């Protein structure tokens, strides 16, 4: 980029998004994930030792020590190089998965390609997923641009994020979603890696999950409501042009979205279910797996831990999540994640 060239809008927006999630209260105001309504049935006779617990799994053909993923956050501006490198280093050390932020900027020019590719440089062995928005996918005639993005980071899968609410409220948004499903179907057929479809914090309904499975998607990230409100982020970016506040809390709570999606497993589609959207602990992750998820993903808590405590803070948070997951497995007598998916979990009100 020339020395005095103007900053592209996409670059500026990406930096604003990260800054707002770190400095402002962008959580849901009147809605929660719903995970607090669920609790495990205590097993006082687990008949196993804590050392017997095995929380490992496989994702995209690669082994994970824990069913965790640091979810898509950033890339495409100067400081994203450091952030993605450090996130990737933590994922590699923990042997968990990672998704990069939207690579739309990388389609516009090559200036910040390294902010994405650094993830693979720092994490050669873990599953890493690329990322592009639905509005961009709707305009594609073929998979070539997405294939280049996947190759840029040595991606094991490619995420398409559905964000109609965010696009509706974003000052420079593109709420044009006609043709998205057709574009996803094309990518499923033409990409050499699996396609993951996710929301960004408003949740996927059972009906939407079913339509995605019908076109061949084999990995779903429900990204439910209750964590970061991207509607709230965009409303803050609008400043004095705020739209009605009910949009701030729009979405399907994470617990409900996980249950609804899990109910579709094996009917007749085999697929991997990722739970995200407001998960704030290893116990939340354990609850999501007991409700039917295969992996648990988180973004903002990881970014905040890195921002406030550096690499030591991020490693400490991930270790806490791991300890809480293992503890939940031990106290329910679940030696493996498959057993945890079958363990008793009940609503508080039903006790």
Per-residue pLDDT tens digits for 11-65: 777 788 888 888 888 999 999 999 999 999 999 999 999 999 999 999 999 999 9
CA dihedral over 56, 90, 150, 222, signed as positive or negative = positive
Mean confidence (pLDDT) of the chain? 93
Q: Is residue 1 part of a domain?
A: no
pLDDT for res 3: 44
Whether residue 2 is contained in a domain is answered as no
Give, to the nearest 10 degrees, the angle between helix 80-94 and helix 300-331.
10
**Domain housing 74:** 9-38+66-313
> Would you state the pLDDT for residue 213?
97
Residue 120 lies in a domain: yes
Assigned domain for 318 exists? no
The mean per-residue pLDDT over the stretch 80-90 comes to 97
User: In the prediction, which pLDDT does 350 show?
Assistant: 65
Per-residue pLDDT reduced to its tens digit, 100-136 = 999 998 998 889 999 999 999 999 999 999 999 999 9
- pLDDT at position 223, please? 98
Interhelix angle for 254-262 vs 206-214, to 10°? 40
C-beta separation of 274 from 294 below 8 A: yes
Identify any residues that bridge with 99 across adjacent strands, giving them in sequence order.
129
The number of angstroms, rounded, from the C-alpha of 251 to the middle of its chain's C-alpha atoms is: 16
pLDDT digits (tens, 9 = 90+) for 302-333: 999 999 999 999 999 999 999 999 999 999 99
pTM of the complete model? 0.94
Whether 232 is in a domain gets the answer: yes
- 132 prior amide bond cis, ω within 30: no
Residue 87 lies inside a defined structural domain of this protein: yes
pLDDT tens for each residue of 138-192: 999 999 999 999 999 999 999 999 999 999 988 888 899 999 999 999 999 999 9
CA 280/CA 104 separation, integer angstroms: 28
- DSSP for 259-285, please give it: HHHHTTBTTTB--EEEE-SS--SHHHH
Q: Counting Cβ atoms within 10 Å, is residue 185 exposed (0-12), middle (13-18) or buried (19+)?
A: middle
User: Is residue 61 in some structural domain?
Assistant: no
- Show the CA angle centred on residue 75, arms to residues 72 and 76, nearest 5°: 145
Per-residue confidence (pLDDT) for residue 98, from 0 to 100? 98
How many structural domains does the chain have?
1
pLDDT band at 5 (very low <50, low <70, confident <90, very high): very low
User: What confidence score (pLDDT) does residue 244 get?
Assistant: 54
Query: CATH number for the domain including 138?
Result: 3.20.20.70
């Amino acid at each position: 980029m020339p020395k005095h060239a103007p900053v592209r809008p996409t670059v500026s927006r990406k930096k604003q998004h990260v800054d707002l999630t770190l400095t402002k209260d962008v959580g849901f105001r009147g809605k929660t994930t719903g995970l607090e309504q669920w609790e495990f049935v205590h097993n006082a006779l687990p008949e196993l030792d804590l050392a017997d617990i095995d929380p490992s799994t496989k994702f995209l053909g690669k082994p994970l020590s824990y069913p965790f993923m640091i979810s898509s956050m950033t890339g495409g501006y100067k400081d994203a190089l450091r952030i993605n490198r450090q996130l990737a280093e933590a994922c590699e050390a923990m042997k968990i998965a990672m998704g990069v932020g939207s690579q739309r900027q990388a389609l516009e020019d090559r200036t910040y390609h390294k902010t994405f590719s650094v993830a693979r440089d720092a994490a050669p062995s873990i599953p890493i997923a690329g990322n592009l928005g639905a509005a961009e996918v709707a305009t594609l005639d073929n998979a070539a641009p997405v294939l280049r993005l996947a190759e840029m980071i040595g991606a094991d899968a490619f995420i398409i994020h559905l964000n109609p609410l965010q696009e509706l409220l974003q000052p420079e948004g593109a709420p044009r979603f006609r043709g998205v499903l057709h574009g996803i179907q094309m990518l499923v057929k033409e990409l050499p890696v699996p396609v993951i479809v996710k929301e960004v914090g408003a949740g996927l309904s059972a009906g939407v999950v079913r339509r995605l499975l019908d076109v061949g998607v084999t990995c779903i990230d429900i990204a439910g409501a209750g964590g970061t409100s991207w509607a709230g982020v965009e409303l803050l970016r609008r400043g004095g042009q705020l739209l009605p506040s009910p949009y701030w809390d729009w979405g399907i709570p994470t617990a409900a979205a996980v249950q609804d999606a899990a109910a579709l497993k094996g009917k007749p589609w085999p697929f991997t279910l990722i739970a995200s959207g407001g998960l704030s602990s290893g116990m939340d992750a354990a609850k999501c797996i007991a409700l039917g998820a295969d992996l648990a993903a988180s973004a903002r808590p990881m970014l905040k831990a890195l921002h406030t405590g550096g690499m030591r803070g991020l490693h400490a948070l991930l270790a806490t999540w791991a300890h809480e997951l293992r503890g939940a497995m031990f106290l329910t007598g679940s030696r493996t994640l498959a057993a945890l998916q079958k363990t008793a979990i009940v609503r508080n009100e039903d006790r």
